[in-house]
Amino acid sequence: AQTVTQSQPEMSVQEAETVTLSCTYDTSESNYYLFWYKQPPSRQMILVIRQEAYKQQNATENRFSVNFQKAAKSFSLKISDSQLGDTAMYFCAFQETSGSRLTFGEGTQLTVNP
């Protein structure tokens, strides 16, 4: 069974600074998909960024980027120029193949301080 581990239950960062959230996973598959989801307080969970394992280039979405290290099975999220609205719970997720169910990590609570 696939596992997803987020070793940082809580993190904080000052506004405008950069923060990196860690995620590791375990799989024997060579192709799979990785995601970061954001759950703001009392609001809907939304997709932040996604990565296909067969793509070597790291995904980027505006201030959000990932560092995908396939050999190390690591998938960290970097948030640049942090904003107060980035305060949320962040979940790393793994999908083994297209159509299979997602496995979520335990989550990291990020607080952006003014």
Residues that bind other proteins (CB under 8 A): 33, 35, 37, 43-47, 50-52, 89, 91, 95, 98-99, 101-102, 104-107, 109
Q: How far is the CB of 105 from other proteins (least distance, A)?
A: 7
Rounded Cα–Cα distance for residues 40 and 45 (Å)? 7
Strands 88-95 and 33-39 turn out to be antiparallel
Closer to other proteins by Cβ: residue 18 or 100: 100
CB of 79 to other proteins, least distance (A): 19
Structure tokens at 56: 């070597």
Q: Which residue, among 89, 76, 75, 104, has the nearest Cα to 38 in the 3D structure?
A: 89
Nearer to other proteins, 74 or 103 (CB): 103
Minimum gap (Å) between residue 51 Cβ and other proteins: 8
d(CA 80, CA 8): 18
